[in-house]
Amino acid sequence: MIILETTGLKKYYGEGESLVKALDGVDLKVEQGEFVSIIGTSGSGKSTLLHMLGGLDYPTEGKVVVDGKDISTLKEDALAIFRRRKIGFVFQSYNLVPVLNVYENIVFPIQLDGNKIDEEYIDRIIKTLGLESKTNSLPSQLSGGQQQRVAIARALAAKPAIILADEPTGNLDSGTSQDVLGLLKVTARKFEQTIVMITHNEEIAQMADRMVRIEDGKVKSRT
Amino acid sequence: MRTFAQEILLHPNPADSAKRNDESRFLLKERNISGSMKKVSNKKIIRSLSWRTMWEKGWKNLIAVLAIALTTLLFTALFTVGGSMIESIQEATFRQIGTSAHGGYKYLSGEEYEKIRQAGGYEDISYDIIAGFGASPELNTIQTEVRYAEDKMAKWSFSYPEEGEMPHELHECAASSKVLEALGVPLRLGEKVPMTISTHDREGNERKIEAEFVLSGFWYSNDASHAQEFWVSRQWLEENIDLLEENYNSRMNERGLYHAEGSIQASIWFASSYDIDSQMEELTERAGFSDEEVRISVNWAYASATVDTVTLMLGVGILAVIILSGYLIIYNIFYINVTTDIRYYGLLKTIGTTGRQLRRMVRLQAFMLSAAGIPLGMIAGWFVGKGVLPALFEALFTDGVKKVSLNPWIFAGSALFSLLVVYLSCIRPCRLATGISPIEAVRYVDNARYKKKERKTAKVSMGRMALANMGRNRRKAVSVISSLSLSLILLSGTWCLVNGFSFDQYVKTYLLTDMQVGHFSTVNFAADASDYEAITPEVRAEIEQMPGVEQVRVPEHKGGRIDLSDEMIGKLTEYFASEEMVSESGPWLEQIVEQIQTEKATNGTIYHLGEDMMSYLDIKEGKFDPELFAQGGYALLLVNQQDKWVRVGDKLTAGSAKEALPKKELEIMAIADYPYAISTRSTVIGGVELLLSEKDFRELYDVKGGLYACLDVEEGREEEVMLSLNEMIEQEHPELVLSTKATLEEEFAGETRMFSMIGGLLSFILALIGILNLINAMVTSILSRRQEFAMMQAVGMTGRQLEQMLTMEGIWYGIWTLAISATFGNVVSYGLIYLVGKNMAYFEWHFSILPLALSVPVIGILSVLLPVICYHALCKKSIIERLRLTEV
């Protein structure tokens, strides 16, 4: 089953001579449960693509369909609600809320939605990611790897349709990167999650099931 | 260099900080190299760096400038009010002393005066020459000095003609209205003035001169000075009086001649009133005299413009409040500024800027902002001083303070105090900027005070998150909350004070019966000495005949001398020798006590009440036996007077050898409280107030009237009686005033208006400062959390939820402010009110939560509105743009 699909996705910035074609007609399909990495150099348009997929920005042209819903036409607050239900984000710089503890950070999107927390499910995620002893800690007390694990837990918590990871290991050393990524992969499998990860690091990208290379706003090759 | 500044202006957001920092590094290096080569200090680069750092903030500086301006405005207003009060007190003292000059010499010969005049080193000098004293029988009760004076001298002595001019022709004269009225001369220029002058010739023989003068000028005398002036022309003086030609002191010592006629009194102004004693001594020395040769006088009004303790404490209290509120906001602004720029300071430190230099940078920015804020505040202060205060003074002070003093010193002082506040406010932010390690600075997040390591898990609600966010920077929150609370506390304090003034108490203080008619001096303290017999038997009879008047009672008063035995002088000396008494009353007291000691007599006010009014007395000490009292030989000591050197059982002698009146020794039977409403409403330091029996009073004094007529009026006919009384006052007795509940109501409103206006104005400006502080704290905290908000939105927080959270933050500020004002604040305002109100007979403490309750909606609206406005400003940038900031 296809969980994510883009057709003719374009994003242009500026106009006339200063027109920048960040995305120039991207067609992408992602299957349920797949782990896809999108690789590209700086300026290739990979971040813009991720933003489009996550409903953080509107495309100039084309469609983004997530879980059967075209999100390119949604209004801003509707997009926010869509994001917290369907998308789990993992950012490079962890982006935890500094005044909330680990557990609160993890369940934050669920609570924003006013939903009841599936305690058992959350406990399993916490155990899988090895965060049992840290649930009451505040983010400032955690190492980078731990913070990123909290971010992954948060992304999984709302049982989203898809997890979008933006250079999730960019701020981590290589050992920790391997650990975190391994955990991401294992957890996704375990909880049957789909992952789209962008990175500029070939080695990291190769840990995915499938690699999509992007250059000058266009998809170049698929493996 | 300009491009750098422009660059900064073009990129006011931290996203460009990396680029900017690179350039500033370059800039620093370049400057440092050239600096070290030329051995120039690095102050210049620091200065230009400070300037640019500040300039870059753009509109954000506005709040700092406004805060400094408001603080300066408050200082200016306070100093203007204070200065005006001190000036008017000083002027009243000058009038009592008789001159405003800094110092002078008494009893000089013409030759001696010339030497002093030529010695120089002073600002101005002038003189008068004593001709003698007024000896016409009509002037028995008025001490009249007959002198020649230069115009300047007359002005300095507050005796310069308001109509006409000083005498120039032989027989011309100028005199005060008081003297002319006593002599029965109409106040018209050119009138003939018959005058008997008592003088002494060169050998000290007394001589009387009968002369007729022509009035060339007069002035209205309505002050408390003892002596009145009667100016004659120089020519008349020279023709009739022997001028002093030798040294007064040596003539006195060698020939025992004390008289001062023909001697010169010189008055001198120096450039400043600082240490007049030494300035006078130096002048004496320059003129070639020793201290023994001449008689120096120093105007002590300059040394001791004493304000009463309550006013002084109130002033100091308000000063402290202004300093505190100024500190709270300016400190907060700079602290936030440094926190926001901490990475920048860290970077500067990395590339070799020393802590001292960083401190200098922060302080320099503060002073640059002061350079804009202080003049702005002074201009606003000038407008307030010129426009608002005169109207305020008009309403507040029925007598005395009328002029608004707009002295340059006031502005200098305000500027200085504002700078002091700015300097104090900088101390901690400077420490923050210098204390941070470069590595820390780069990772610094705005949660310096958030030391919590853990927190219990609870349901995440916008309210709880908002509270937690406030706790991230406690220092900032405390400053904003204190700042807002300060104005609320003051507001509720003012409210309670104004509402605590009890009109009933006020009426009880100023009115004994239904209505009261009195001499105008009882309500106008600037008036001439009271006429204790203003209510003559005729006036009394007229009032008694008025329809509706049930009863008229007239308490009687008489000013008289009281002779003191050696024993009593001992008690007086002992009492006034205490340190406390001397420091409170100033040099006046010493002079008065000295005078009482030499004369063995003091001034007294002798009261007499009819039997039907004795019940108004409140016996405080001793036992009052009406029958024994009526037999004579006893007196009641009245304690309107604060001096407590006379006790029950002491013996005093009413009547003095100097007055051609009988004398009688009286024993103090008891000490009683006399109703203020029918007292003379003035006190005499070292004086005694006694109440005598009918028998003794009639025996000793010949009093035909009273100061007040106390009326009992038939119920329902008050209006009618008021009309008849007003008609009588208007047509026959303009010197009388009527006090009724209605007239008192007006006075009462005037008195309470003062407090509500000053308190209201102060709380308003403090509220402005508090709100400014809140705005600044809100705006900066929202700006510094841009990325955080973007991230929360990215994980699915809607705009509405974010808005809710920010609103909750504002509401928490409001809740804390109200909570503190309602608890701690009420304790403080109670203390404050107690201090101000305790000395007022008509003050009653009322607790009220109303002002706080009324401010709830205001605070509510503000705390909801401000964050919403800030949020919408924030929304202009998309989530991605804001998210990207993190990647820098």
Residues 6+ apart with CB under 8 A from A54: A83, A87, A89, A164, B794
| CB-CB contact of A50 with A23 (8 Å) | no
In chain A, which residues have their Cβ closer than 8 Å to the Cβ of B809?
none
Mean pLDDT of B461-466: 77
B195, B179 contact by CB (below 8 A) = no
Distances (CA, A) of B418 to A7, B83, B362, B425: 65, 18, 17, 10
| pLDDT at position B375 | 93
* B177 against B497, higher pLDDT: B177
Find the helix packing angle between B799-820 and B462-472, rounded to 10°. Answer: 60
| Pair B515, B718: CB distance under 8 Å | yes
The phi and psi torsions of B218 (rounded to 5 degrees) equal -150, 165
Residue B254 · residue B125 · CB < 8 Å: no
Phi-psi region of B280 (alpha: psi -120 to 50; beta: other; left: phi over 0): alpha
Alpha-carbon distance A136 to nearest alpha carbon in chain B (angstroms): 5
Compute the count of residue pairs across chains A and B with CB atoms less than 8 Å apart: 103
pLDDT in tens, B127-162: 999 998 888 877 766 778 899 999 999 988 888 998
Q: B450, A77: Cβ pair inside 8 Å?
A: no
**Chain A residue with the nearest C-alpha to that of B799:** A77
Give the chain A residue whose CA is nearest to the CA of B447: A98
Confidence of residue B63 (pLDDT cuts 50, 70, 90): confident
Residue-wise pLDDT tens digits, B721-746: 888 888 888 777 777 888 888 878 87
Q: Are strands A210-215 and A218-222 parallel, antiparallel or unpaired?
A: antiparallel
Q: What is the pLDDT of residue B29?
A: 42
Residues of B within 8 A of A151 (CB-CB) are none
For chain A, the maximum distance between any two Cα atoms, rounded to a whole number of angstroms, is 56
A contact residues 75-134, partner B, Cβ 8 Å cutoff: 76-77, 80-81, 83-85, 87, 89, 91-93, 95, 97-101, 103-104, 107-109, 111-113
pLDDT of residue B16: 41
Query: Is the pTM for the entire model greater than 0.90?
Result: no
- Going by pLDDT thresholds of 50, 70 and 90, the confidence category of residue B390 is low
Question: ipTM of the assembly?
Answer: 0.71
Task: List CB contacts of B27: < 8 A, sequence separation 6 or more.
Answer: B1, B4, B45, B49
Q: Which residue of B has its CA nearest to A160?
A: B795
Which helix (H) or strand (E) is B131 found in, with range? strand B124-134
Q: Is B443 on the interface with A (CB under 8 A)?
A: no
Q: Give the per-residue pLDDT at B656.
A: 56
Provide the b/e sequence for B258-269 (b: ≥16 CB within 10 Å).
ebbbbbbbbbbb
How many CA atoms does the CB half-sphere of B453 hold within 13 Å? Answer: 3
**Chain B residues touching A112 at Cβ < 8 A:** 460, 795-798, 801
The verdict on B888 touching A (C-beta cutoff 8 Å) is no
Locate the chain A residue with the closest alpha carbon to B888. Answer: A93
Whether A51 has its CB under 8 Å from any CB of chain B: the answer is yes
Binning pLDDT at 50, 70 and 90, where does residue B886 land?
very low
Distance CA B886, CA B873 (A): 19
Q: Do A95 and B886 touch (CB under 8 A)?
A: yes
Alpha-carbon gap, residue B572 to B703, rounded angstroms = 29
For residue B443, give the chain A residue with the closest CA. Answer: A140
Q: Side chain identity at B846, as an amino acid letter? A: H
Instruction: Please tell me which residue, B795 or B24, carries the higher pLDDT value.
Output: B795
Domain extent listing, chain A: 34-58+74-222
CA distance B193 to B185: 7
Which option is the CATH number for A34-58+74-222: 3.30.950.10, 3.30.499.10, 3.40.50.300, 3.40.920.10? Answer: 3.40.50.300
Q: Whole-angstrom Cα distance, residue B44 to residue B398?
A: 56
Position B558 scores a pLDDT of 81
The most confident of B63-72, B727-736, B793-802, by mean pLDDT: B63-72
- pLDDT tens profile B33-50: 444 444 445 677 777 777
Q: Considering only CA atoms, give the Rg of chain B.
A: 36
Show residues of chain A in contact with B796, CB under 8 Å: 80-81, 83-85, 87, 109, 112-113, 158
d(CA A34, CA A40): 19
CB contact under 8 A, B455 and A141: no
Give residue B114's pLDDT.
92
Query: Do A82 and A22 meet the contact criterion of CB atoms below 8 Å apart?
Result: no
Q: How confident is the model at residue A183 (pLDDT cuts 50, 70, 90)?
A: confident
CB contact under 8 A, B445 and A104: no
Contact A56 B883 (CB under 8 A): yes
DSSP B198: E
Chain B nearest-CA residue for A116: B459
What is the token pair recorded at B71?
């603080």
Percent of chain B clearing pLDDT 90 (strictly above): 10
Task: Please give the Cα distance from B373 to B421 (Å, whole number).
Answer: 13
Nearest to B794 among A56, A136, A141 (CB): A56
What value does the mean pLDDT take over residues A100-127? 84
Instruction: Calculate how close chain A gets to B406, using CA atoms only, in Å.
Output: 53
How does pLDDT run across B247-290, given as a tens digit for each residue? 888 888 788 777 888 999 999 998 887 788 888 889 999 988 88
Kindly give, in sequence order, each residue whose CB lies less than 8 Å from that of residue B570, ignoring residues fewer than 6 positions away. Answer: none
